Structure 1
Amino acid sequence: MRLLAALAALVCLLTACTGDSKPQGITLDNRPVAASKVDVDTPALREAKAAAGIADCTPGRGGGELPSLTLPCLGGGTAVDLASLKGPMLLSFWGSWCGPCAEEMPALQAFADDYADQVPLLAVDYQDQYPASALEQMQERGVTYPSLADPGGDVQQFDEFAKIPGMPMLVFVDADGAIAHREFGGLDSEAQIVDLVEEHLGVAL
């Protein structure tokens, strides 16, 4: 009997048993939310975010064509449902574990400084188990544009993000909230970003 009880406990542990009949990662109104156990909003992380001067995440107007998945804001703040976002805007998928992501950050920050009023930039710290390291890297690189957090890679459940061949990934979101273009591997300059925005989003900068 003790062996059976131990096996049952092990199965429950491996399958994340809870007393709640609601599936993990689903809100009461059936909207998916990020289900990772990594806490990206603690007093220490909020303090680090404030010290770095990183902006809060801002939900969109709603009615976009991206999948409905609510992601928390890295370091605390306002959570954002991706489906609320409409462009023209950029989504920058990155992680503190990704060298090319760090190299791309200065170009993204320069773009945000010059053009955020026309084409907002929102980052997504993707499959990153160390939010403190992510915020530290943002501060070291002088990054102040906001970042959501998806430590569990929950966006992968949707076709739009099912296959991410390399990081960083810059996603160009059009006025309908649909993905107009994806750019992989990192960009070296603000000028490259401007050219891609004009080409794929039709915005004259």
Structure 2
Amino acid sequence: MAEPATSPDIWSPDWVDPFAPTVNADDEYAQLVDALREVQEAITRSRPTPGAAADAAVTLRETARRMRAFEVDEDSQIAGKRWEIAGKGHSLAPVLHIDTVTDTFARGTVTIGRFHSGRYAMNGGVTPLIFDELLARLANSGGRPWARTAYLNVNFRAPAPLHTELTVTGELTGQEGRKRFLRGAMHHGDILVADAEGLWVELRHEQTQDISRNLEGRDR
């Protein structure tokens, strides 16, 4: 089991992803995101009375109001940039635990709850989210310049069960100039539930410079 994260500097988020196996974290921001995931799952699984739904809506709107007091721009937000923990501090996609990383290969595990269900199995739209997280991070690791997803094709081979650990792998299969080709697979035990192949295109120099200027401007 991975060791707990040691005092991550969550107040200085960065777009640079030091792609590595994930670690456990129990700091205040990680707890906040975990609580949000609990709310998502609990609401999905519930059939509340009108009164209970109204009371919960008041509570959630109050939480949103409190968080708006800390609103920042996208470069400064923490969500999606907690690279060292599963889920990166974001509640959109299922929590992907990374256990193996090399320059050309990555593997992780994910367990789907009813929030991401599509009638007793994982919703088909969720599968590309998982592949894109793993493959995009691999495409941009190993000292390679920043690239963006050009396409991601997913084949659904079998239903992906809920509440069951799935294994997800990604592989960098080749590079031609600015083009990086990757493929992925998702298994339930020995059963292939989905596979994917995608293309990531390295940003041109001027595009990278524009991003760098934006990031530098944030720090002034």
TM-score scaled to structure 2, two decimals? 0.24
**Structure (1 or 2) with the greater strand fraction:** 2
- Greater RCO, 1 or 2 (C-alpha within 8 Å, sep 6+): 1
